[in-house]
Amino acid sequence: MAMSTQVVYGDEKQNRRKVILRQTILYTLLALFAIFVIIPFYWMIMTAIKEEADVFVSPPILWVNPLNWQFSNFALALERAPFARFMYNTVIVSMISTVGTIITTVFAAFAFARLNFVGRDILFMALIATMMIPGEMFVITNFLTVVELGWIREQTFTTALLAMTIPFMTSIFYIFFLRQTFKQIPNELYYAAKVDGTKDLQYLWKIMVPIAMPTIITITILNAMGTWNAYIWPRLVTQREEFRLVSNGLRNAFDDALGVTAYNEQMAAALLVTLPLLFVFLTLKKYIIRGVSRSGIKG
């Protein structure tokens, strides 16, 4: 009896040692991976606050004393290109396209989730199928279309905004995403509202939209982030420098005539573009993760 207790005790001790060892390895691996993820951000920040002379030192300076942080780099970066203007453009484009997208998406998702009409399932399958086609197939014709619509030649800020927003005012993925949320709202709610004489449109905006708010917030964030990162289309359709978006301004502004890059100012600008995104992510993480993981589960 005593012996068997001892054996069990020994086993437990060994087990605990094993658990501790496993935990240590696990946390070490995760910490190493975390360092791998953080390094680019760290290097961006460190470079952005260095004096120009300290950037071109080999081996590089790994840590800058907080007393020597050069916040003037941010001011210099903003002078290199009209970044304030680019950010203003980006915010405007983002707002217009997001509001437009939400409106078209809410209506379409309502029809797919709530109404019964001829060809609904076929149409829905056709929409899902087009999600697989690479965007480059659309870009060529869309470029010709915005030219035909007169949004390119003798471009004004208004036509530039139209060219950058109208083609993206709806999204099959968001319709699909919102339809899933709408479908979870019980039908009884709809019939109760019908009995009370509520019109469909009223029902949609007064009841369904508020219930689906978390999904709509997710769509808003993802859409705004998409605009913030857009590079190819705005570059293609804007005819004047001052109509461009932040990503466009970022890439070429920091090489001087001799091809030497002012890395500290370049990284300061990169940081200015990255910070709003990080801020949005950290405050609204829940909604972003929700949208992303939903897209995965439904795949």
Partner 1 sequence: MLEDKHNIKAWFYLAPAMVLLIIFTFYPIFNAFFLAFLRDFNYLQGTWEGFTFFENFGFVFRNPNFRDALTNTLIITFVSVPIAVIIALLVSVWLNSIVKFRGVFQTIFFLPYVTNAIAIGMAFAFLFNRNFGLVNTMLGWIGFSPINWVGLRATWGMAMIAFLVFTTWSSLAFRIMVFLSGLQNIDKQYYDAARVDSTRRYRIFRRITVPLLSPMIFYITITSFIGSFKTYTEVIGMFGERLGPPGNDRAMITMVALVYDALDRSGVTGALSEAAAAAIVLFGITLFFTLVNMQVSKKRVHY
Contact 216, 99 (CB under 8 A): no
**Nearest to partner 1 of 210, 259 (CB atom):** 259
Q: How far apart are CA 237 and CA 75, in angstroms?
A: 29
Footprint of partner 1 on 73-112 (CB under 8 A): 103-105, 107-108, 110-111
Footprint of partner 1 on 212-251 (CB under 8 A): 225, 228-229, 231-232, 236, 246-247, 250-251
Among 49, 177, 267, 287, binds partner 1 (CB under 8 A): 267
Q: How far apart are CA 239 and CA 237, in angstroms?
A: 6
> Smallest gap, in angstroms, from Cβ of residue 277 to partner 1?
5
Footprint of partner 1 on 108-137 (CB under 8 A): 108, 110-111, 114-118, 120, 127, 130, 132-137
Maximum distance among all Cα pairs of the chain, rounded to whole angstroms: 96
Footprint of partner 1 on 138-167 (CB under 8 A): 138-145, 166-167
- The count of other CB atoms within 10 Å of the CB of residue 264 is 24
Footprint of partner 1 on 180-219 (CB under 8 A): 187, 200
Q: How far apart are CA 105 and CA 204, in angstroms?
A: 12
**Residues in contact with partner 1, total (CB under 8 A)?**
96
Closest by CA position to 265, among listed 72, 58, 110: 72
**Nearest to partner 1 of 7, 133 (CB atom):** 133
> Smallest gap, in angstroms, from Cβ of residue 100 to partner 1?
9
**Nearest to partner 1 of 213, 260 (CB atom):** 260
Instruction: Spell out, one character per residue from 16 to 55, where the chain touches partner 1: x when CB under 8 A holds, - when not.
Output: -------x--xx-xx--xx-xxxxxx-xx--x-------x
Cα 266 to Cα 26, 34, 62, 230, 263: the distances in Å are 37, 25, 18, 19, 5
**Nearest to partner 1 of 1, 220 (CB atom):** 220
**Nearest to partner 1 of 137, 211 (CB atom):** 137
Among 241, 278, 283, 286, binds partner 1 (CB under 8 A): 278
**Nearest to partner 1 of 46, 243 (CB atom):** 46
Site for partner 1 contains 8 (CB under 8 A): no
Strands annotated E in the chain: none
The burial of 12, by beta-carbon neighbours within 10 Å (0-12 exposed, 13-18 middle, 19 or more buried), is given as exposed
Contact 114, 201 (CB under 8 A): no
Q: How far apart are CA 260 and CA 263, in angstroms?
A: 9
**Nearest to partner 1 of 243, 246 (CB atom):** 246
